[in-house]
Amino acid sequence: MHNPSNDSLRTLLSNLQVDVIIANVQTVDMDWKRENYVHSFNRLYFIIEGEGQIEVDGIVYYPKPGQIVVMPCHVLQSYSTINDHPFHKYWCHFTARVGNRDLLEMYRFPVCIDVLSSSEVESWFSRMINEMKKQTPSSILNIQASMLQLIGLFIDHGFEQTAIPSSTTQKLSRVFQFIEQNLEHKITIEQLASLVHYHPNYFIRAFHSVMGCSPIQYINRMRLDKARQMLSTDMTIGSIARAVGIEQHNFSTMFKSYTGFSPRDFRQLLMR
């Protein structure tokens, strides 16, 4: 039977922009625990062995080896070990944006998913990890290709559409372009509002209806995305902070909040 929801999702996926922030494989520590936090990126785990507890949006899960765990952005989450046999897992942090919103904000997918081929999933994760280390011109394509395969797995297990706000993205396209071109400079709400001839207060509301966040939150996200890319170069962390328009004394705190890692730790992961 024809399903209009499938058509809607297919249309969105044709414009999907995937960005893998970091990927790795590890056995978690016995003190692996965090409660009631929200991130601006998505998390994906593939459990190889061990046990643990995941809570997403108030529901507790106990993922098993051979399962993928999908932890969406902007949703309250917790995790912890439960015994002396903690998770050994592949993991990644990623965004999957359609226009200016994340796919996992628009749709809800199962949190725990059984996979038919563990070796295939492991190969996708391994490829992402290896390509992040290589940083060749084709690495970004290979990383995205593997991530898209993983996203396809949980999409095929079903989805539920959530409310999507009406879009004035076309009207705001000039604002997005201005922000991207001026990240190293101070950007004010008054500047942005004047670009589209809005009162600043109305501009903030209009922007939030499209982006799901304030203009300042969006600007910071763009700055931190650019900083993350620059950490693969030999620039000093202080120089990177200045290049993206963030005060150096705030940079490490903001970066860790966004990626889950300090700038120094993130750079070390890229260099392994």
Domain ranges across the chain: 4-161, 169-271
Task: Give the residue-averaged pLDDT of 147-158.
Answer: 91
pLDDT at position 252, please?
93
User: Considering only the top CATH level, what class is 169-271?
Assistant: mainly alpha
**Distances from the Cα of 185 to the Cα of 179, 199, 215, 243, angstroms:** 9, 22, 15, 9
Query: What pLDDT, in 10s, does the model give residues 71-122?
Result: 999 889 999 999 999 999 999 999 998 766 788 888 888 999 999 899 999 9
For residue 207, give both structure tokens: 């922007």
Instruction: Residues 4-161: name the CATH superfamily.
Output: Jelly Rolls (2.60.120.10)
Query: What pLDDT, in 10s, does the model give residues 184-241?
Result: 999 999 999 999 989 999 899 888 766 667 899 889 988 998 999 899 899 999 999 9
**Distances from the Cα of 144 to the Cα of 22, 91, 128, 134, angstroms:** 12, 15, 8, 14
Task: Give the residue-averaged pLDDT of 261-267.
Answer: 92
What is the reported pTM? Answer: 0.67
